[in-house]
């Protein structure tokens, strides 16, 4: 089963692969942290060098899109 999935992923264009990877990462964080996954990503962004934040921003946007009623708590 995983072999077929890997082959199918290889056929996708790079943008589709990136979206799928991002979605998978968001799924994983939601399973681990629930709605606090957004807070986890925000804290990670704060601690990361500016050059490596782009992926984290996209991950935050994906999580925020899923939970649009999110209100940031400090």
pLDDT, tens digit (0-9, with 9 covering 90-100), for 5-24: 667 766 777 777 778 788 88
pTM (2 decimals)? 0.69
Higher pLDDT, 28 or 17: 28
Looking from the CA of 68 toward its CB, the CA atoms found within 13 Å total 1
Q: Which residues of 40-63 are buried (b: 16+ CB within 10 A; e: fewer)?
A: bbeeebeeeeeeeeeebebbbebb
| Strongest mean pLDDT among 7-11, 42-46, 69-73 | 42-46
Calculate what percentage of the chain has a pLDDT beyond 90: 51
């Amino acid at each position: 089963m995983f072999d077929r999935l890997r082959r199918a992923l290889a056929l996708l264009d790079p943008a589709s692969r990136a979206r799928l990877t991002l979605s998978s990462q968001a799924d994983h964080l939601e399973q681990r942290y629930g709605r606090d996954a957004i807070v986890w990503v925000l804290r990670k962004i704060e601690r990361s060098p500016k050059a490596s934040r782009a992926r984290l921003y996209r991950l935050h946007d994906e999580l925020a899109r899923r939970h649009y009623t999110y209100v940031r708590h400090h």
